[in-house]
């Protein structure tokens, strides 16, 4: 058995050699370089773009503007429909038409012979802007008479999504004031920041009318279809190849304006064109996440049980782009109250456009925002009733017997055992007995604190009327020598699912792992799939591969048994061999050779020739027909984790140091613990980064304050902490083998756990942290306020 083994990642030895091929390493003969001129203004009308000087340069092959793309018929109309809300939509332009709405918005593109020449050509472009009044954040955008980001909308609200369960107003009205708390919580803006930026190389063959794109993307098939729509080409005229991807985390889910511009330039020029994003382009314009404010009101009983909860969410989704980010806010709303049983709930979300940069998907996909809000509220309730924070969580957790559980949003949580991960993480961190340690440290002048944070991560998102749904096919084929190739529509931006899928297929077939190759990331080779998002690669991609492998398994079994002269039910498949009860055996090579070489001979009687099978797994608990059965659910599996940490706070400076961090995750059956842990280490580190170090900031006019990694600071090895991991497995009753996604686990729990621990360290001061990240300046300010 390979499932459950700590198998090394299959790409490790390639990439550690420096031999990986990332998109910037793709260089077709004669490849030109495209660079983008971006708006320096948060909001401005484009009066005129003078391209004469740029076009006049010897090494410039093409200059594109919004108007030239419009003339070529390129514009992205709204598409898709939504189950529970109706957003205002706009036609999107890859290069700005009429006006710019955020700093970094693409305005024009130049194609030159190399990067140095392309930069010089950008300098030669002259844009005449009429600067417009701007709205630098959602609160300003909601003020009466605020400048409008979209001229044709009556205000800056893109979508309003309210839902209610029970009667929270009545419960709040009937609760005595000492059992009610109100407040505001804020999750500030961050950026996923994969070390490799976005990028695309496009090459057009005019004879075959065929466009080949190498893209640093998470979803080649989706990008192909979206590009085909944008460029008015048949899907079959485009091949998208995903080379090695240097990290993605949601940040490379298609499609980006630059993808369209680059592909269009290649078609116009009939030459290969490359666009590689620079970091100072990414930080303002590559897409952000979070930036949500929550005004809440919570009522509770004397024992800490929450009796009613209302939340008003305002999501600053920035300006609209072709990006797929804004739906994250819907998920934040939909995951309230998440792991907690509250029967009287009201949630109202408003997604507000502003002159900040657009949102783009990032690991957590909104769930980290609801986790932060809920856990902060739970801590506040615990303080209010004077009960321990763990006990108050226990009091409110959904219990294992209630699943499948319909959330107030209507989504259906498959399974869970939240008390289990809480109990385990308390053991790992040393919850019992910490009070004594804390007191001893305090006597020595040090402030230590302990905290917990719980997260819920619904995965496998399958939205209705959307390309990002649940179609992740896999092909398993065995060659005449008995070697196995798996072609899959899911992709790996470095996460290692190719290794996990190989383990699943090898076990299913009884094959040797080293004779199973996994191929992904090529629309011409692989069957359709969603690529990589919402932790679907194993639950969907692995299950589809398993289904296909079962068919191959069955044929090998039948033919092998015939060759061994026993009944199919008597043999077992193991070690790349078919083995009879007597011990007689025949290798897969011989069986495959029989199938290919002798399809009409004795062992193939009643057996269809060929050893290539494509299957697509369908999730049973995704529900898209509310009109029929009253159910709407886009998330089939709901992983969860509980984190705990011990921090030390310097009360003079507000500096927080994490002494120990523990997390117990439950993502059902784990295929490869080594890779799952690598994922969790990374997610937790990103979660810690977003808790303490990372923040995309804008001024009130919408000017970004972080243009380099010297201002948008990622955690490095000095900030690294020793992460202690624990596992729990509550298998999903709805997926094959009980798998759930692990890709987003671990990113949400750090912020509330760290906040909780900081408050504990400062408990005698009564400090309350309401805004993440907890930069030294914020912690210091909170201490001053408490004093």
Give the burial string for 578-589 (b: 16+ CB within 10 Å, else e).
bbbeeeebbebb
User: What is the smallest separation between the CB atom of 666 and other proteins, expressed in angstroms?
Assistant: 20
Strand 180-187, strand 771-772: pairing: parallel
By CB under 8 A, residue 123 contacts other proteins: yes
4 lies in the binding site for other proteins (CB under 8 A): no
Does 12 engage in binding with other proteins (CB under 8 A)? yes
Nearer to other proteins, 199 or 489 (CB): 199
Structure tokens at 81: 């429909």
DSSP code at position 537: I
Alpha carbon 257 to chain centroid distance?
A: 20
Residue 716 is a binding residue for other proteins (CB under 8 A): yes
Q: Does 29 bind other proteins (CB under 8 A)?
A: no
Query: Smaller CB distance to other proteins: residue 122 or 513?
Result: 122
User: Is residue 682 near other proteins by the rule CB under 8 A?
Assistant: yes
Q: Which of 352, 690, 723, 742 binds other proteins (CB under 8 A)?
A: 723
H or E, element range at 264: helix 257-269
Quick one: angle between helices 750-761 and 367-385, nearest 10? 30
And the tokens for 453? 């944070």
The residue to which tokens 């009884």 are assigned: 510
Q: Which is nearer to other proteins, 123 or 608 (CB)?
A: 123
Whose Cβ is closer to other proteins: residue 15's or residue 607's? 15
Q: Which of 30, 98, 114, 465 binds other proteins (CB under 8 A)?
A: 114
**278 is a site residue for other proteins (CB under 8 A):** yes
Residue 713 makes contact with other proteins by CB under 8 A: yes
> Does residue number 435 form part of the binding site for other proteins (CB under 8 A)?
no
Q: Is 209 in the site for other proteins (CB under 8 A)?
A: no
Q: Which is nearer to other proteins, 289 or 706 (CB)?
A: 706
Minimal distance, residue 88 CB to other proteins, in Å: 31
Q: Which residue's CB is nearer to other proteins, number 149 or number 248?
A: 248
Q: Give percent helix, percent strand, percent coil of the chain, each to the nearest 5.
A: 30, 25, 40
From 72, 97, 120, 157, residue interacting with other proteins (rule: CB under 8 A): 120
Measured from the CB atom, is 281 or 414 closer to other proteins?
281
Name which of 279 and 517 has its Cβ closer to other proteins. 279
SS3 220: helix
Region label for 633, one of left (φ > 0), alpha (ψ between -120 and 50) or beta (otherwise) = beta
**Residue 264: CB minimum distance to other proteins, A:** 24
Min separation Cβ 658 and other proteins, Å = 12
| Cα distances (angstroms) measured from residue 262 to each of 275, 334, 484, 522 | 6, 36, 37, 19
Binds other proteins by CB under 8 A, chosen from 5, 20, 596, 669: 20
- One DSSP character per residue, 548-614 reads HHHHHHHHHHHHHHHHHTS-GGG-EEETTEEE-TTS-EEEHHHHHHHHHH-TTSGGGTT--S--EEE
- Which helix or strand (DSSP H or E) is residue 112 part of? strand 106-112
Q: Using CB under 8 A, which residues numbered 631 to 670 contact other proteins? A: 652-655
Which residues are 37's β-sheet partners?
Answer: 108
Which of 68, 137, 149, 196 touches other proteins (CB under 8 A)? Answer: 196
Please, what is the minimum distance in Å from the beta carbon of residue 155 to other proteins?
28
Q: Under the criterion CB under 8 A, does residue 25 sit at the interface with other proteins?
A: yes
Q: Which residue, 55 or 160, has its beta carbon nearer to other proteins?
A: 55
| Residue 761 CA to its chain's centroid (Å) | 32
Give the shortest CB-534-to-other proteins separation in angstroms. 18
Q: Which position among 263, 684, 736, 762 is part of the footprint of other proteins (CB under 8 A)?
A: 684
Question: 369: how many CB neighbours lie within 10 A of its CB?
Answer: 31
Select from 665, 661, 666 the least CA-distant residue to 689. 661
Q: How many residues contact other proteins, by CB under 8 A? A: 83
Q: What is the DSSP letter of 633?
A: B
Q: Please, which of residues 464-483 interact with other proteins by CB under 8 A?
A: none
Considering only 122, 423, 550, 566, the residue that binds other proteins (CB under 8 A) is: 122
Q: Is 679 in the site for other proteins (CB under 8 A)?
A: yes
Q: Which is nearer to other proteins, 123 or 303 (CB)?
A: 123
Please report whether residue 674 would count as binding other proteins according to CB under 8 A.
Answer: yes
For residue 434, the tally of other CB atoms under 10 A from its CB is 17
Binding segment toward other proteins, per CB under 8 A, in 85-93, 507-515, 628-636, 676-684: 676-684
The answer to whether 384 and 175 have CB atoms below 8 angstroms apart is no
Binding region for other proteins (CB under 8 A) out of 395-403, 519-527, 634-642, 681-689: 681-689
- Which one, 94 or 117, has the nearer CB to other proteins? 117
Q: Nearest to residue 473, comparing CAs of 494, 501, 493? A: 501
Q: Tell me which residues in 128-147 interact with other proteins (CB under 8 A).
A: none
39, 475, 706, 735: which one contacts other proteins (CB under 8 A)?
706
765 binds other proteins (CB under 8 A): no
Return the residue matching tokens 């503007």. 65
Residue identified by tokens 């030239």 is 68
Q: What is the DSSP letter of 510?
A: T
Q: Is 170 in the site for other proteins (CB under 8 A)?
A: no
Contacts of 82 (CB under 8 A, 6+ apart): none
SS3 113: coil
Nearer to other proteins, 412 or 649 (CB): 649
The DSSP 8-state label assigned to residue 152 in this structure reads T
Among residues 686, 691, 730, 745, the one that binds other proteins under rule CB under 8 A: 686
CA pair distance 364, 331, nearest whole angstrom: 10
User: Using CB under 8 A, which of 72, 75, 115, 669 touches other proteins?
Assistant: 115
For residues 235-264, which are near other proteins according to CB under 8 A? 244-249
Question: In this complex, which beta carbon is closest to other proteins, that of residue 420 or of residue 496?
Answer: 496
Output the six-digit token pair for 448.
Answer: 């230590």
Among 709, 726, 727, 765, which residue interacts with other proteins (rule: CB under 8 A)?
709
Whose Cβ is closer to other proteins: residue 276's or residue 422's? 276
Token pair listed for 557: 């079994």
Q: Which residue has the tokens 């693409």?
A: 106
CA atoms within 13 A on the CB side of 583: 0
Nearer to other proteins, 247 or 726 (CB): 247
- Among 96-104, 112-120, 433-441, 568-576, which window interacts with other proteins (CB under 8 A)? 112-120
Sign (positive/negative) of CA torsion 749, 754, 757, 762?
Answer: negative
């Amino acid at each position: 058995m390979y499932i459950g083994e700590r198998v090394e990642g299959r790409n490790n030895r390639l990439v550690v050699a420096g031999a990986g091929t990332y998109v910037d390493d793709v260089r077709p003969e004669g490849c030109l370089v495209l660079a983008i001129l971006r708006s320096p203004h948060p909001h401005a009308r484009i009066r005129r773009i003078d391209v004469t000087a740029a076009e006049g340069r010897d090494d410039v092959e093409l200059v594109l503007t919004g108007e030239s793309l419009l003339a070529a018929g390129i514009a992205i109309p709204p598409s898709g429909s939504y189950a529970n809300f109706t957003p205002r939509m706009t036609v999107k332009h890859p290069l700005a038409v009429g006006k710019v709405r955020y700093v970094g918005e693409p305005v024009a593109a130049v194609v030159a012979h190399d990067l140095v020449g392309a930069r010089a050509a950008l300098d030669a472009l002259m844009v005449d802007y009429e600067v417009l009044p701007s709205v630098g954040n959602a609160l300003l955008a909601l003020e009466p008479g605020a400048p409008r980001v979209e001229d044709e909308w009556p205000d800056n609200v893109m979508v309003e999504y309210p839902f209610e369960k029970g009667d929270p107003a009545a419960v709040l009205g009937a609760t005595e004031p000492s059992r009610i708390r109100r407040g505001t919580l804020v999750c500030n803006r961050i950026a996923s920041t994969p070390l490799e930026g976005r990028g695309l190389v496009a090459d057009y063959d005019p004879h075959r009318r065929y466009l080949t794109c190498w893209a640093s993307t998470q979803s080649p098939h989706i990008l192909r279809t979206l590009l085909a729509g944008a460029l008015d080409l048949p899907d079959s005229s485009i091949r998208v190849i995903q080379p090695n991807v240097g990290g993605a985390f949601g940040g490379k889910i298609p499609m980006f304006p630059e993808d369209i511009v680059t592909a269009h330039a290649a078609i116009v020029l009939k030459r290969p064109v490359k666009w590689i994003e620079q970091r100072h382009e990414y930080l303002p314009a590559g897409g952000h996440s979070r930036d949500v404010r929550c005004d809440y009101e919570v009522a509770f009983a004397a024992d800490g049980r929450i009796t009613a909860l209302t939340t008003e969410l305002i999501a600053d989704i920035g300006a609209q782009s072709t990006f797929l980010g804004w739906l994250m806010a819907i998920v934040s709303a939909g995951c309230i109250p998440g792991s907690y049983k509250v029967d009287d709930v009201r949630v109202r979300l408003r997604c507000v456009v502003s002159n900040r940069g657009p949102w783009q998907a990032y690991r957590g996909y909104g769930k980290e925002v609801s986790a932060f809000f809920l856990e902060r509220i739970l801590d506040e309730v615990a303080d209010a009733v004077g009960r321990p924070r763990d006990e108050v969580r226990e009091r409110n957790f959904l219990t294992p017997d209630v699943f499948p559980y319909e959330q107030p949003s209507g989504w259906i949580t498959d399974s869970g055992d939240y008390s289990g991960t809480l109990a385990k993480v308390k053991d790992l961190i040393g919850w019992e007995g910490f009070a004594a340690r804390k007191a001893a440290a305090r006597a020595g002048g040090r402030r230590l604190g302990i905290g917990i944070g719980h997260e819920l991560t619904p995965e496998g998102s399958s939205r209705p009327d959307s390309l990002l749904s649940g179609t992740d096919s896999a092909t398993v084929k065995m060659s005449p020598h008995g070697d196995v190739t798996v072609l899959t529509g899911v992709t790996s931006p470095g996460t290692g699912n190719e290794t996990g899928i190989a383990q699943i297929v090898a076990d299913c077939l009884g094959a040797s792992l080293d004779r199973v190759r996994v191929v992904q990331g090529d629309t011409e080779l692989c069957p359709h799939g969603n690529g990589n998002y919402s932790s679907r690669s194993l639950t969907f991609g692995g299950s589809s591969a398993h289904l296909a492998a079962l068919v191959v398994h069955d044929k090998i079994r039948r033919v092998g048994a015939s060759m061994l002269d026993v009944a199919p039910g008597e043999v077992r498949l193991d070690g790349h061999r078919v083995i009879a009860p007597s011990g007689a055996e025949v290798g897969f090579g011989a069986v495959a050779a029989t199938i290919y070489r002798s399809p009409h001979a004795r062992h193939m009687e009643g057996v269809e020739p060929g050893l290539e099978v494509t299957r697509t797994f369908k999730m049973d608990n995704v529900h898209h027909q509310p009109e029929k059965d009253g159910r709407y659910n886009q998330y089939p599996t709901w992983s969860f984790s509980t984190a705990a940490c011990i921090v030390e706070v310097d009360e003079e400076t507000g500096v927080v140091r994490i002494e120990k961090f523990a997390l117990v995750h439950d993502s059902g059956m784990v295929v490869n613990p080594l890779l799952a842990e690598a994922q969790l280490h990374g997610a937790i580190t990103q979660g810690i980064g977003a808790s303490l170090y990372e923040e995309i900031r804008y001024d009130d006019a919408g000017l970004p304050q972080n243009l380099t990694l010297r201002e948008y600071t990622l955690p490095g090895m000095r900030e690294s902490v020793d992460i202690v991991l624990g596992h729990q497995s509550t298998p999903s009753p709805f997926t094959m083998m009980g798998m759930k996604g692990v890709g987003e686990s671990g990113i949400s729990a750090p912020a509330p756990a760290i906040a909780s621990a900081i408050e504990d360290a400062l408990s005698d001061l009564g400090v309350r942290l309401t805004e993440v990240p907890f930069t030294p300046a914020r912690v210091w300010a909170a201490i001053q306020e408490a004093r």
